Chain A
Amino acid sequence: MPASGDDSRGERPRKVLIIGSGPIVIGQAAEFDYAGTQACKAMREEGIYSILVNSNPATIMTDEDIADVVYIEPLTVDVLERIIAAERPDSLLPTLGGQTGLNLAVELVEAGILERYNVRLLGTPIESIRLAEDRAEFRALLDEIGEPSPQSEIVEDWEQAVAARDRIGLPLVIRPAYTLGGTGGGIAFTEEEYERIVRGGLAASPITQVLVERCLLGWKELEYEVMRDGADTCVTICNMENLDPMGVHTGDSIVVAPSQTLSDRDYQMLRTSALKIIRALGIEGGCNVQFALAPRPDITAWPGEESAEALEYHVIEVNPRVSRSSALASKATGYPIARVAAKIAAGKRLDEITNSVTGRTTAAFEPALDYCVVKIPRWPFDKFAFGDRTLGTQMKATGEVMAIDRTFEAALGKAVRSLEMGGRSILWEDPEWADDFPEELPATDERLWGLLAALRRDIDPIDLAQRTGIDPWFLERLGRIVALERRLLSEDLTPDLLREAKRAGFGDAIIGTLADRLPDQVRALREEWDLRPVYKMVDTCAAEFEAVTPYFYSTYEVENDAVPEPGRDRMLVVGSGPIRIGQGIEFDYCSVQAARALQAAGVQSILANSNPETVSTDFDTSDRLYFEPLDEEAVRDLLDNEAGGAEAPPSIVQFGGQTAVNLAGGLQRAALPIAGSSAESIDLAEDRGRFEQLISALGVPQPPGSAVRTLDEALPTAEAIGYPVLVRPSYVLGGRAMEVVQDANELVRFFGAALAERSGPVLIDKYLEGLEIEVDAVCDGESVLIPGIMEHIERAGVHSGDSMAVYPPQSLTPEQREAIVDYTTRMALALDVRGLMNVQYVIAPDADPAGPGVFVIEVNPRSSRTVPFISKVTGIPLVPLAVHVMLGESIIEQGYEGGLYPDRNLVAVKAPVFSMSKLIGVDTFLGPEMKSTGEVMGVDETFDAAIRKAAIASSVAVERETPFLLSLANRTKAEALPLIHLLHEHGCKLYATEGTAALVEGLGLPVEFVTKRLSEGHPNVVDVINDGTVGAVINTLEGGRPSHMRDGFHIRRAATEMRIPCFTSLDTARAAIQPLTAPGSYNVRPLAAYRDGE
């Protein structure tokens, strides 16, 4: 075992390897980019050389100025060993890359690799990690130090599980060991549920182990973030209380900080326990401890002693590393946990680390908050209407928002606004509730709205508390919101009432709805009555000391801490809000780069965002940080504050995804300046009619189509264009509700659904099933620079965010390349883009026999999902270039010229990563609606090596001799023939369903028939997946929207739950299988070495 802990303290590391957390998946999101970036910066401050490896290109941590060497490679033991052999680090920092990084570190230790290369683990010793992660050992430790844990048993097979069930009794919680985000776990109330969850959990656990535990459903759930240094000094950074009681994963819970319903006695009891645990584990760095605390017995009954001294509690779980909760705690308190943890790992003591917020005190203290923080998760059910919305022990949220204010109500109100749920304001109610209000209010993503609706129906808060287990304190507070709603509905809007509503967090739009006014009229009243928010500082110390980092939140109080600094060049960067499918970490990446570029240019950068996970909301990313909802009201308010009665700073809205771009119109109407492409340019690109006129005038072809408003218009339009057609509501994000429609019947059905959801036009386009191409470009009004062209592996019809993309393009003709550059350039100039633009094309030579066959599908005058990828592989700093354009510096003045930048001598593949195993009931097929949550990059000298690495990193790699299950739609059978031959050549045993088996037999190849009719005998398709007979699936779909009822759905879900590759596009399957032809080696090198040929 490598030396760690006491033996090595004092021996300063010189060269440290930091492992990132890989792609964004549910349970492991942007918080680890934040943690890793802080860690790299901390190493640099300490003068330690850092080597970073991550497979995710959309991260700030993989920017080449963050670490000393950056590898963008798959996170596997093999790759890590090769990096260690090449770089020879003396130490490894394992606790900042989430569960992925931690698991890899453990594997490296177990494989003897760290010992072989004399690499020691920094910070928390490996024994502590094992102790915290292994449930049996951890429970033994708790027993030893006298800390209570719920009765539980470790189970490694079904027989043991039965025995455990009989001893403890249902309901039971099942928690698999070593999985992230609670993957594979759940609560079982019935024997059937118990068997299903235990078996799934055993499969999900890399060590085939689950914990079966007494169910503390309805108990209060609390978390403590604690830190410890090598001198055994321990501090608590933050405690947090979950509004949702035990039973809902903390990542899916609404969380407040600090705790609201704990007396000092309760608070300190749990704090003492948390510190006892971090000491017993010997952690050096950060750690998160979760507790269950006995609820009010009049709300949730529980057996046990009622002691006057202390409430019963249980230790539920420990994370011996920085986590999502520690990111939240850092943003909630201003205390940079990851940075401090990294410094502790490097040998510093807490009292030797400066508190960078005050600049004069040290990290050895406990933050005092003088505000209330509310976090609300952001769930993907707006995209997955068929998904199971129930919340349990398996996390389902893709992201989260945080809001800060001086009251709980106000923080909650702002957090709801921050969710950006379109029509779902705090007043939203399910139309079904109007007639039939549900008796039960189970934990779902809609429960908060259900609680408010119940209170509006005069259901007693205590009654609600008993139904849900939520502490009455929270429900009484929601009751105050409802009471104020009633006053706004019934009373005259006086200055006092408006002030009260603003102090309770009511947005102008909500007040307007209730008091029958337009939001702008409410704003005008506020101006007339001098009701403006002030901005208070998050300073870690409740104003006890002067603070130097300007991190602000709005509130309706008297004194303003955020005194503007006019007279300087300043710009606001509007961030991208919560991470959701379709708007991920890529946009935070762009916002961070923009803030940095402004600073580098000597311009004060002001950043606004609502997402606590991100690098952009790190206190030292920008010069001034506003933690605010990203709606028109909040952004205008903070701009008014910055203006200080004079000119407001210009706003950059092109980096924060659709969230920021959507603000352009409102800002322009308020006469607030926009930097870069104007609101007019944005509208021109987004308004279908105007854009079409522009494009035809330019002579740039696009698939025939038009916008329609009624079904009567749609049918003849589709007929004229010719089926299949692509239909979608206008103004959508991430392809929501986009479909390929094959005939008039499907069109009628789509229209029904689209009209039910929203008004507004529907776009109908000819669906061209060709090669899809994507470019990003930067334009200064005169020149248009295209850093590179990306070619999608999957043909049009699969959402670009779910497609694999390769740079440079592999199959374009010179004429097509030329046309792409020409069209992009002309459109950018015609739209008068200042900054970034993203264009998607489809190559369909048949549809354009006279020309190059290049058609424009979509233009977005903003940064895109591919900006980090293309910036990294080409080395063209797209975001800084765009920022400098906004500052008035031309592309030529910046040392570049217009046109396509020469292709680099490398091949890079971007591959999507999905979180489907966590979303029960969601169909996994690839289509025009985006489903992926993250991305990885494979980069190498050749296409085969690059795609092989992308497949490994995105967990869709297959090997020679991997047995395949094939179930192909008729329309894809002919096309699949070469692929079937190829699989056979690679020694892959073939299993196939009815029709497909006949096809394979017809080719004269051996095949095993498996029925897809689940009711007709065994083994069926699901059996061969579940029992491990097959290791990969190819399942293509007939056209149209697949039904839940069809067999294919079960095949895809089974494959997802068994975590084996399931290809629903032949293009993806081909890409994964092709490299096996020459299964040679791939390289492992720093990114710069591939790109610059170093």
Chain B
Amino acid sequence: MTTPPRARLVLADGRVFEGEGHGADVRATGEVVFNTSMTGYQEALTDPSYGGQILTMTYPIQGNYGVNDTDDESARLQVRGFVVRELTDLPSRWRSTQTLGQYLEAAGVPCIAGIDTRALTRHLRSHGVVMGTITRDESASEALARLRSEPAYGTEDYVAEVSTDSIYTFNHEAAVVVPENAPHIVVLDLGVKRNIMRHLRRRGCRVTAVPHDTGAEDILSLGPDGVLLSPGPGDPMLLDHVVQSARGLAGRTPLMGICLGHQVLGRLFGAETFKLKFGHRGANHPVRDEVTGRVYITSQNHGYAVDPDGLDSAVEVAQVHLNDGTVEGMQHRELPLFTIQYHSEASPGPHDTEFLFDRFLDSVRNKDASS
């Protein structure tokens, strides 16, 4: 039995966690955040919304079912680093093709295992998320000095990093046959997850993804029947150019905004966004629909939220988070436009709100009926 190398996670506030090094033997720096979902590490690791972040999973045993060919949410691993209590090298699932450790190593992502992730979570819960670094070859003080010289999470635009460089047609799931005259949905890729596009395709849509900096006219020139503003990483206050595009789209085509897309649309309608102390990341977030009173369990992954104070009266807060009352969904009173802060595409997480894609497509079809 070979003993894994020592590694440490050093936080910008000086707290140090000692553990074992796994995955790639590189240093990684990012904002340290925690996710409470008990399954779905492969989907989370490939979720572009984790761009610029070091992710810790609160469930202590990670890697149980290995890594398979179907569950990636983007073309690469998106996290900067991965922090776990235990990384299992003995997975069991019949479609598993490699261990989680091999997957991380091949992708160049470092992992630190064996640490008290509950202590880390409690620390982040009480002090707020913080920059941190995973290192094997530095002392804690060396790492801390280096960490302090690196840019803070909130100052970087990660969207440019994770978005597509060029326009492409999403054609996963070859078995799904999309007719020529199918509704055409353009996804403004701020860090889109594949499952959003799978949902649209499965519902019979042609799906085109465009880069984050595509202007409104360029999008409209593609002839969309609806536009979806995708989730993505980072501070929405840095995304003036996306707000600009959204302004050119609102009222001219049905819009749905998810997560970062929701925040961008919030800004479009006059709201500011603010940073949450430790964000919402997990598969158990209760959201109440203010109209029906029904509560949905949602999958969430965001560090910023829309402040409803500045919101245009044309937009209503349709859904709120049951735990902290933050805005979880907005509905325009006249335009075919709605947003959700959470991830109806799940993956990972509960499938309870998949029907929102139907709702979006209803507005797309109604537009056809009325035109």
> Chain A interface (Cβ within 8 Å of chain B)?
231-236, 258-265, 267-268, 271-272, 275, 296-298, 308-309, 349-351, 360-362, 364-372, 406-408, 471-473, 476-477, 480, 483, 536, 541-546, 557-559, 561
Chain B residues whose C-beta falls within 8 Å of the C-beta of A558 in the assembled complex: 17, 115-116, 119
Per-residue A-contact encoding for B129-162, CB less than 8 Å = 1, 0 else: 0000000000000000000000000000000000
Chain A residues whose C-beta falls within 8 Å of the C-beta of B17 in the assembled complex: 558
Q: Is B90 a contact partner of A559 (Cβ separation < 8 A)?
A: no
Distance in Å: Cβ of B203 to nearest Cβ of chain A? 16
A295 to chain B: closest residue by CB? B94
Q: A477-B90, A544-B125, A558-B119 are in contact. Are A406 and B60 (CB under 8 A)?
A: yes
Name 20 interchain pairs, CB-CB below 8 A, sorted by A. A231-B293, A233-B294, A236-B297, A261-B65, A261-B93, A264-B42, A351-B286, A351-B322, A362-B323, A370-B36, A370-B58, A370-B60, A370-B117, A406-B118, A471-B92, A473-B90, A473-B91, A473-B92, A477-B90, A557-B118
Q: Is B60 a contact partner of A407 (Cβ separation < 8 A)?
A: yes
Q: Is B60 a contact partner of A366 (Cβ separation < 8 A)?
A: no
Chain B residues whose C-beta falls within 8 Å of the C-beta of A261 in the assembled complex: 64-65, 92-93
Distance in Å: Cβ of A428 to nearest Cβ of chain B? 25
User: Within the assembled complex, what's the spacing in Å between the Cα atoms of A236 and B351?
Assistant: 12
User: Within the assembled complex, what's the spacing in Å between the Cα atoms of A408 and B71?
Assistant: 25
Chain B residues whose C-beta falls within 8 Å of the C-beta of A471 in the assembled complex: 92
User: Within the assembled complex, what's the spacing in Å between the Cα atoms of A541 and B286?
Assistant: 12
Distance in Å: Cβ of A912 to nearest Cβ of chain B? 43
Q: Is A350 a contact partner of B295 (Cβ separation < 8 A)?
A: yes
Q: How large is the interface on B (under 10, 10 to 19, 20 to 34, 35 or more residues)?
A: 35 or more
Is B269 in the interface zone, CB < 8 Å from A? no
User: Within the assembled complex, what's the spacing in Å between the Cα atoms of A349 and B295?
Assistant: 10
Q: Which of B160-188 contact A (CB under 8 A)?
A: none
Distance in Å: Cβ of B146 to nearest Cβ of chain A? 24
User: Within the assembled complex, what's the spacing in Å between the Cα atoms of A819 and B40?
Assistant: 71
Per-residue A-contact encoding for B69-90, CB less than 8 Å = 1, 0 else: 0110000000000000110001
Q: A264-B39, A366-B284 are in contact. Are A544 and B293 (CB under 8 A)?
A: no
> B122's contact among A265, A368, A559, by CB below 8 Å, is which?
A559
> Chain B interface (Cβ within 8 Å of chain A)?
1, 17, 34, 36-40, 42-43, 58-61, 64-65, 68, 70-71, 85-86, 90-95, 115-119, 121-122, 125, 278, 282-286, 288, 292-297, 322-323, 346-352
User: Within the assembled complex, what's the spacing in Å between the Cα atoms of A298 and B92?
Assistant: 11
User: Within the assembled complex, what's the spacing in Å between the Cα atoms of A275 and B125?
Assistant: 31
User: Within the assembled complex, what's the spacing in Å between the Cα atoms of A262 and B93?
Assistant: 8
Chain A residues whose C-beta falls within 8 Å of the C-beta of B95 in the assembled complex: 308
Q: Is B351 a contact partner of A268 (Cβ separation < 8 A)?
A: yes
User: Within the assembled complex, what's the spacing in Å between the Cα atoms of A543 and B93?
Assistant: 29
> B61's contact among A260, A472, A546, by CB below 8 Å, is which?
A260
Q: A298-B94, A558-B116 are in contact. Are A271 and B350 (CB under 8 A)?
A: yes
Distance in Å: Cβ of A137 to nearest Cβ of chain B? 27
> A543's contact among B70, B118, B284, B348, by CB below 8 Å, is which?
B118
Q: A267-B39, A308-B70, A543-B125 are in contact. Are A372 and B60 (CB under 8 A)?
A: yes
Q: Is B93 a contact partner of A263 (Cβ separation < 8 A)?
A: yes
Q: Is B36 a contact partner of A544 (Cβ separation < 8 A)?
A: yes
Chain A residues whose C-beta falls within 8 Å of the C-beta of B297 in the assembled complex: 235-236, 365-366
Q: Is A231 a contact partner of B60 (Cβ separation < 8 A)?
A: no
Q: A541-B36, A558-B116 are in contact. Are A263 and B68 (CB under 8 A)?
A: yes
User: Within the assembled complex, what's the spacing in Å between the Cα atoms of A544 and B86?
Assistant: 19
The 7 closest A-B pairs by CB, nearest first: A264-B40, A559-B119, A473-B92, A264-B348, A542-B58, A368-B36, A366-B284
User: Within the assembled complex, what's the spacing in Å between the Cα atoms of A472 and B64?
Assistant: 11
Q: Is B286 a contact partner of A369 (Cβ separation < 8 A)?
A: no
Distance in Å: Cβ of A495 to nearest Cβ of chain B? 14
> A557's contact among B90, B119, B323, B351, by CB below 8 Å, is which?
B119
Q: Is B116 a contact partner of A557 (Cβ separation < 8 A)?
A: yes
Q: Is A544 a contact partner of B92 (Cβ separation < 8 A)?
A: no
> A263's contact among B65, B115, B350, by CB below 8 Å, is which?
B65
User: Within the assembled complex, what's the spacing in Å between the Cα atoms of A370 and B288?
Assistant: 25
User: Within the assembled complex, what's the spacing in Å between the Cα atoms of A174 and B352?
Assistant: 35
User: Within the assembled complex, what's the spacing in Å between the Cα atoms of A268 and B37?
Assistant: 12
Q: A298-B94, A370-B121 are in contact. Are A232 and B294 (CB under 8 A)?
A: yes
Chain A residues whose C-beta falls within 8 Å of the C-beta of B39 in the assembled complex: 258-259, 262-264, 267-268
Chain A residues whose C-beta falls within 8 Å of the C-beta of B85 in the assembled complex: 406-407
Q: Is A544 a contact partner of B350 (Cβ separation < 8 A)?
A: no
Q: Is B125 a contact partner of A233 (Cβ separation < 8 A)?
A: no
Q: Is A559 a contact partner of B125 (Cβ separation < 8 A)?
A: no
Chain A residues whose C-beta falls within 8 Å of the C-beta of B117 in the assembled complex: 370
Distance in Å: Cβ of B193 to nearest Cβ of chain A? 13
Distance in Å: Cβ of A918 to nearest Cβ of chain B? 33
Chain A residues whose C-beta falls within 8 Å of the C-beta of B351 in the assembled complex: 268, 271-272
Q: Is B65 a contact partner of A262 (Cβ separation < 8 A)?
A: yes
A238 to chain B: closest residue by CB? B38
Q: Is A366 a contact partner of B283 (Cβ separation < 8 A)?
A: yes
User: Within the assembled complex, what's the spacing in Å between the Cα atoms of A561 and B122?
Assistant: 10
User: Within the assembled complex, what's the spacing in Å between the Cα atoms of A483 and B64?
Assistant: 19
> B323's contact among A259, A350, A365, A370, by CB below 8 Å, is which?
A365
Distance in Å: Cβ of A134 to nearest Cβ of chain B? 29
Distance in Å: Cβ of B34 to nearest Cβ of chain A? 8
> B322's contact among A296, A361, A477, A536, by CB below 8 Å, is which?
A361
Q: A268-B349, A544-B282 are in contact. Are A559 and B116 (CB under 8 A)?
A: yes
Q: A365-B284, A544-B36 are in contact. Are A476 and B119 (CB under 8 A)?
A: no
Chain B residues whose C-beta falls within 8 Å of the C-beta of A408 in the assembled complex: 61
> B60's contact among A259, A263, A362, A371, by CB below 8 Å, is which?
A371
Chain A residues whose C-beta falls within 8 Å of the C-beta of B59 in the assembled complex: 258, 368-370, 542
Chain B residues whose C-beta falls within 8 Å of the C-beta of A557 in the assembled complex: 116, 118-119
Q: Is B60 a contact partner of A543 (Cβ separation < 8 A)?
A: no
User: Within the assembled complex, what's the spacing in Å between the Cα atoms of A333 and B283?
Assistant: 15
Chain B residues whose C-beta falls within 8 Å of the C-beta of A350 in the assembled complex: 295
Q: Is A361 a contact partner of B323 (Cβ separation < 8 A)?
A: yes
> B284's contact among A275, A367, A477, by CB below 8 Å, is which?
A367
Q: A268-B350, A349-B293 are in contact. Are A297 and B94 (CB under 8 A)?
A: yes
Chain B residues whose C-beta falls within 8 Å of the C-beta of A275 in the assembled complex: 352
Q: Is B36 a contact partner of A364 (Cβ separation < 8 A)?
A: no
Chain B residues whose C-beta falls within 8 Å of the C-beta of A232 in the assembled complex: 294
Chain B residues whose C-beta falls within 8 Å of the C-beta of A559 in the assembled complex: 116, 118-119, 122
Distance in Å: Cβ of A955 to nearest Cβ of chain B? 43
Chain A residues whose C-beta falls within 8 Å of the C-beta of B92 in the assembled complex: 261, 296, 471-473, 476
Distance in Å: Cβ of A109 to nearest Cβ of chain B? 30
Chain A residues whose C-beta falls within 8 Å of the C-beta of B86 in the assembled complex: 406-407
Q: A350-B295, A368-B282, A541-B36 are in contact. Are A296 and B93 (CB under 8 A)?
A: yes
Q: Is A370 a contact partner of B71 (Cβ separation < 8 A)?
A: no
User: Within the assembled complex, what's the spacing in Å between the Cα atoms of A545 and B61?
Assistant: 21
Chain B residues whose C-beta falls within 8 Å of the C-beta of A473 in the assembled complex: 64, 90-92
User: Within the assembled complex, what's the spacing in Å between the Cα atoms of A371 and B118?
Assistant: 9
Question: Most chain-B CB neighbours within 10 Å: which of A263, A360, A483?
Answer: A263
User: Within the assembled complex, what's the spacing in Å between the Cα atoms of A233 and B353?
Assistant: 12
A480 to chain B: closest residue by CB? B90
Chain A residues whose C-beta falls within 8 Å of the C-beta of B292 in the assembled complex: 231
Chain A residues whose C-beta falls within 8 Å of the C-beta of B70 in the assembled complex: 265, 308-309
